[in-house]
Structure 1
Amino acid sequence: MAWKTAFRSLYYQGAPEPEDPVLERGKTALLVIDVQNTYLERPDRAALPPEEQARFDAWTPFHDRMHGTVIPTIAKLIAAFRAGGHEVIFARIACQTLDGRDRSLSQKKPGWNNLLLPKDEASSQIVPALAPQGDEIVVTKTTDSALTGTNLRLILTNLGITHVVCAGIFTDQCVASTVRSLADESFDVIVVEDGCAAGSYELHLKELEIINMIYCAVMSSDELLAYLPR
């Protein structure tokens, strides 16, 4: 399949093709990372000053990809995992306190990652189109990695999970950080390319190239679903 030769960095040019993953029921989980209301909210462009309008426009391709590709893809994955009896797990960024005093240092620094998302506010919730159902597990973090900032490793181990399929945002931040942590803990990781997005498509592609073959296998949703037991 195409994924076996795609997204290869200089390190892996000429390397043998990876083997097909063996995804077993009871050992495979879908992890949806940080697809939260806060990242889909947009102001009225007409009400913004010119500098803010330029920033608004710079983010339009991300929003187009999220609504046109990423959210529909993740919804498709969730439906397939639920139908097949596989675990669906969510991670989200949210602090326990209203003033965010429990946040990690990276979320207190000025700039893009300066996030104040109290756990009960609407902005910190998973988007409605992908809302958890029943007793599906949601872990809450104030870190990039969904593994190091939560008890997710213990949860996955207790569930008997060996293979984790990752989707969500942002490819070059929380997704990549989570993938690296999972790989370091010897989980077998697959990243679904059309189920992820970064601030720009260029950053998305570059990060996939960086993490592919060493920390994970990168494949499309259709390629992944071809391996998933139904």
Structure 2
Amino acid sequence: MSQTALIVIDVQESFRVRPNWSAVDHPDIADRVNRLVAAARDRGDLVVWILHTEPGTGGAFDPAEGHVRLIEGLTPAAGEPVIAKTSHNAFTTTNLQQLLTQRGIRELVISGIRTEQCCETTTRVASDLGYDVVFVTEATATTPLPHWTMPADATLEEILADPRTLSPAVIAERTEYALAGRFATIRTLDEIAPVLVGS
């Protein structure tokens, strides 16, 4: 029995209905995740799907609004857990750790949205809980990150015009620097899910 689980975090329509999605670094995130999912299933690894929810907020993450569902093209197989969370990391408000313990999982492969937020936070918590964690930056996605003093209602144009805004490439690099050797091993899509010639 495999001791590895692929954790797919928040690859959901909630992000695609927000204005800043047009500036996302990996608009093909579903295809990237599907590569990991196919490889995980071939190896007999567990695939766990996480969805972020903010009930009662009336926003894109409020289940009542209809956007808290996997991005089109992603489909859990029979028996693959789909877990709703309300915190940034996938552990605190869920039964994820219990589920992984029951399955004898020791290694986690992390993918999803957003690179520096729910994916990185889950990675740090998982490492502290004793899991070996692999972070596949290429199978994560994020959008430009405004300076913390930028008003919450700033437009995407204002965010992009501000020289203090961090680009997705810089965010990904900083995330890798923070995680590598401390909380996770960084791996590429080709390393985890090689494309088979002739397939």
The answer, yes or no, to whether TM exceeds 0.5 is yes
Between the aligned residues of both structures, percent identity stands at: 28
1:136 to 80, 104, 109: 80
Distance in 2 (CA, whole Å) between partners of 1:75 and 1:178 is 20
Give the corresponding residue for 1:61: 23
2:53 to 71, 85, 94: 94
Distance in 1 (CA, whole Å) between partners of 2:106 and 2:113 is 22
Aligned residues: 170
Q: 1:79 to 1:121 in 2, by over 3 A?
A: farther
Does residue 27 in structure 1 map to residue 17 in structure 2?
no
- Please give the root-mean-square deviation of Cα atoms over the aligned residues, in Å: 2.1
Give the corresponding residue for 2:186: 218
Question: Larger relative CO (CA 8 A, sep 6+): 1 or 2?
Answer: 1
Which amino acid counterpart does residue 43 of structure 2 have in structure 1?
G
1:204 to 149, 155, 172: 172
Distance in 1 (CA, whole Å) between partners of 2:12 and 2:138 is 17
Q: Which runs of 5 or more residues in structure 1 are unaligned?
A: 1-24, 43-55, 101-113
Does residue 167 in structure 1 map to residue 128 in structure 2?
no
**What SS class does the counterpart of residue 23 from structure 2 fall into?**
helix
Q: Which runs of 5 or more residues in structure 2 are unaligned?
A: 144-167, 195-199
Give the corresponding residue for 2:37: 78
**What SS class does the counterpart of residue 88 from structure 1 fall into?**
strand
Which amino acid counterpart does residue 46 of structure 2 have in structure 1?
E
8 Å CA contact 1:37, 1:123 repeated in 2: yes
Which consecutive segments of 4 or more residues in structure 1 shift more than 2 A?
58-61, 114-122
Which amino acid counterpart does residue 76 of structure 1 have in structure 2?
R
Which amino acid counterpart does residue 23 of structure 2 have in structure 1?
P
Distance in 1 (CA, whole Å) between partners of 2:44 and 2:100 is 16
